Amino acid sequence: MFRLTLFLVIIGLISSCSKPTRIKEVVLGADSVAVSFFKGDGSIDPVMKVVMLRDRKDLEKLSGYIESGRTENFKCGYDGSLHFFKKDIVLKEVAFRMNESDCMHFSFLLDGKLYNTKLSEEAKQFLGSVNKK
């Protein structure tokens, strides 16, 4: 009985850490996204470049990357931000850090709570390709 209870508690803890944030549902309604790139050193100082994405496939990729598993609340700065728009109204702002290998993440507010999700190597490559446009 004890083993079963322990097993259920462990499963509950693991599943609570990987629950989806619902951010994908919010941003999939967007018709465009502005990708802003900062200096790349973690500071939010000047925006160095902004790239607009309107291709549905790009929006779906980004939303999938952002919905990846939750991670710790980092305090290592940001390299850029994503502003998801629908008819010129911002639906959601998401900050990201991709230039520090042990601190790669997306950060956003949803329902008044701060969430951080993992920024995968694939997401980093995608954002890098966007920065080259």
Sole residue written with tokens 């309604």: 29
Q: 81 near 108, Cβ under 8 Å?
A: no
- Structure confidence at residue 122 (pLDDT): 94
The CB density around residue 120, as the number of other CB atoms within 10 Å, is: 15
Sole residue written with tokens 């993440």: 105
Q: 78 near 95, Cβ under 8 Å?
A: yes
Which pTM does this prediction carry? Answer: 0.79
Distance from C-alpha of 117 to C-alpha of 63, rounded to nearest angstrom: 12
CA distances from 85 to 70, 93, 98, 128 (A): 24, 9, 22, 21
Query: What tokens appear for 70 in the block?
Result: 């939750």
- Structure confidence at residue 94 (pLDDT): 93
The whole-number mean pLDDT for each consecutive block of 10 residues of the chain, a chain of 133 residues, reads 39 44 78 88 76 92 85 83 92 90 88 89 92 84
